[in-house]
């Protein structure tokens, strides 16, 4: 595999060389939980999950971490407005976040650390920064001293001198330099706070991500993702804090940033008031259509939000799901494992096989080229056309049907990371079911490893009874609905 990734840090595409052989660390900045998230915020949740799922499908053992910022001015203000605690606001919108991403077909992260559960780690890093002279406490606040970090500005290509000279905002009297940023905020009356060596207070936003990413992924890890609006100052500050505290040269090796979702030419944002929540949009469009709408564009480019675009994506997604259903209907219940040797005497089969095989290679190569999902979807629809033509010309029993089961497995393979085929069955959501089934498959695998064949077979037979077929092959076990 030769995976190439556009790294914001170097400004060019680089070959992926993992830091650790045993696991691939992937950190994505999560939501500040003070409201339902809007559809622009949904873009990183979807795209970075797709990238992570693709890496898993290529054999990487990905450890995926997304933080939840559950202490912030916006949360505190909302709590004040409603006369409830900040924790009540955070809990409410964390639950809503989980509901919404599940409906969006986003697989859960391996860990969702909350900032307020990591105050100790945060204080630890700030203390080490103060000790090393990279940060300074003043009147209950603690600031990071950007002049002490030589590489400050490397990610965003900004120069500290320019930041200081060009800064138009009122200079904070407490800071040494206007570009210095807060690590620890002094407690204010009536706001949540925690004890620290500098008095009661709460963490700044940037330091949370340094603390939580390094806790779960180590001092150096492979991927860090987020929206382009986070490059400066958030990610620049994360690098400064992390590297100054650990002395490590590399904090995150590859920095991935997604483009914005524009509404009539302007970035969709809560502050601009031109937004629609993911929840509202999911009332109007199926998940597959929303995902396809995003994935038809390259993750680094902008997307224009439009009803026409979404309607078109819905039609396209339906066409894909229809072809998939046609395939499923033709595949026999007890499928034979497809063997390319068996088609040698049919020119028609051989041509179809070679065409799909070559499109498959191009599709995977597009995904490996900086996750070029628009090209991937283009190739997938070339396949859809080939498959429809093949089916329309008539399919006999035997190898002509067996080859369709091979195509269906390819489609399943792509959908393991794309999630754009509607496989809902009798109202049961496929994504949710798949999560359950992956656990069941693991369980059966352990039973077989322990040579407990009776129970392992019993499990498979009971599932068949319940309408689910397990299929073992050299590459592992998969499941599908029984007809």
Site residues (CB under 5 A) for Zn ion? Answer: 29, 209
The distance of closest approach from Cβ of residue 239 to Zn ion in the complex, given in angstroms and rounded to an integer, is: 11
For the CB of residue 205, give the shortest distance to Zn ion in the complex, in Å.
Answer: 7
Question: CA neighbours within 13 Å on the CB side: how many for 269?
Answer: 8
Total Cβ atoms within 10 A of residue 39: 24
* Nearer residue to Zn ion within complex by CB, 29 or 96: 29
Residue with tokens 């780690």: 121
Nearer to Zn ion, 224 or 460 (CB): 224
- Number of Cβ atoms within 10 Å of the Cβ of 460: 19
* Least distance from Zn ion to the Cβ atom of residue 29, Å: 3
Sequence-ordered alpha helix ranges (H) in 4-118:
39-57, 73-82, 86-103
172 to 163, 182, 213: CA distances (angstroms) = 14, 11, 29
Rounded least distance, CB 210 to Zn ion, Å: 8
Q: What is the CA 279 to chain-centroid distance, rounded?
A: 18
Cβ closer to Zn ion: 55 or 212?
A: 212
Kindly tell me which of 134 and 207 has the beta carbon lying closer to Zn ion: 207
Nearer to Zn ion, 42 or 421 (CB): 42
The least distance separating Zn ion from the CB of residue 20, rounded to whole angstroms, comes to 21
* Helix 347-368 vs helix 373-392: crossing angle, to nearest 10: 170
The DSSP output letter for 150 is T
Shortest Å, Cβ 204 to Zn ion: 11
What DSSP letter does each residue of 232-291 carry, written as one string? Answer: IIIIHHHHHHHHHHH--S-SEEEEEEE-PEEETTEE--TTTT---BHHHHHHHS-HHHHH
Least Cβ distance, residue 261 to Zn ion (angstroms):
19
Q: What's the rounded Cα separation, in Å, for the pair 117 and 91?
A: 13
Smaller CB distance to Zn ion: residue 29 or 295? 29
Nearer Cβ to Zn ion (29/126):
29
Torsion of CA 110, 112, 118, 122, to 10 degrees: 80
């Amino acid at each position: 595999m030769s995976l190439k990734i556009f790294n914001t840090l170097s400004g060019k595409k680089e070959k992926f060389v993992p830091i650790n052989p045993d696991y691939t660390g992937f950190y994505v900045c999560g939501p500040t939980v003070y409201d339902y998230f809007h559809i622009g915020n949904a873009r990183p949740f979807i795209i970075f999950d797709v990238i992570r799922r693709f890496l898993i499908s290529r054999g990487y053992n990905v450890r995926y971490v997304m933080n939840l910022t559950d202490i912030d001015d916006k949360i505190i203000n909302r709590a004040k407005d409603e006369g409830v605690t900040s924790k009540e606001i955070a809990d409410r919108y964390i639950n809503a976040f989980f509901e919404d991403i599940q409906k969006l077909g986003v697989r859960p992260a391996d860990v969702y650390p909350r900032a307020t559960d990591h105050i100790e780690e945060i204080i630890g890093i700030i203390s080490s920064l103060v000790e090393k002279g990279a940060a300074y406490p003043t009147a209950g606040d603690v600031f990071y001293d950007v002049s002490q970090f030589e590489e400050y500005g490397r990610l965003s290509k900004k120069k500290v001198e320019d930041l200081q000279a060009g800064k138009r905002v009122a200079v904070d009297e407490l800071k040494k330099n206007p570009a210095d940023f807060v690590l620890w905020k002094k407690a204010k009356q009536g706001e949540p706070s925690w004890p620290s060596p500098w008095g009661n207070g709460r963490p700044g936003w940037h330091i949370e991500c340094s603390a939580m990413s390094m806790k779960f992924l180590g001092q150096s890890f492979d991927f860090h993702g987020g929206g382009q609006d986070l490059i400066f100052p958030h990610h620049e500050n994360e690098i400064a804090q992390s590297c100054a505290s650990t002395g490590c040269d590399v904090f995150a090796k590859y920095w991935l940033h997604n483009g914005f979702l524009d509404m009539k030419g302007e970035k969709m944002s809560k502050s601009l008031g031109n937004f629609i929540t993911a929840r509202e949009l999911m009332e109007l469009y199926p998940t597959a259509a929303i995902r396809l709408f995003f994935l038809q564009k390259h993750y680094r480019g902008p997307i224009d939000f439009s009803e026409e675009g979404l309607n078109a994506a819905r039609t396209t997604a339906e066409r894909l799901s229809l072809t998939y259903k046609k395939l499923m209907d033709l595949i026999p219940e007890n499928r034979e494992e497809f063997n390319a040797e068996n088609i040698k005497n049919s020119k028609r089969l051989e041509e179809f096989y070679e065409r799909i095989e070559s499109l498959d290679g191009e599709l995977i190569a597009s995904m490996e080229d900086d996750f070029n999902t628009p090209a991937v979807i283009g190739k997938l629809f070339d396949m859809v056309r080939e498959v429809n033509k093949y089916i329309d010309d008539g399919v006999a029993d035997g190898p002509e049907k067996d080859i369709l089961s091979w195509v269906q497995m390819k489609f399943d393979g792509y959908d393991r990371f794309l999630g754009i085929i509607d496989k809902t069955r009798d109202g049961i959501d496929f994504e949710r079911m798949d999560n359950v089934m992956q656990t069941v498959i693991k369980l059966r695998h352990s039973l077989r490893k322990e040579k407990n064949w009776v129970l392992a077979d019993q499990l498979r037979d009971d599932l068949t009874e319940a309408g689910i077929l397990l299929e073992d092959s050299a590459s592992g076990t998969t499941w599908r609905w029984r007809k």
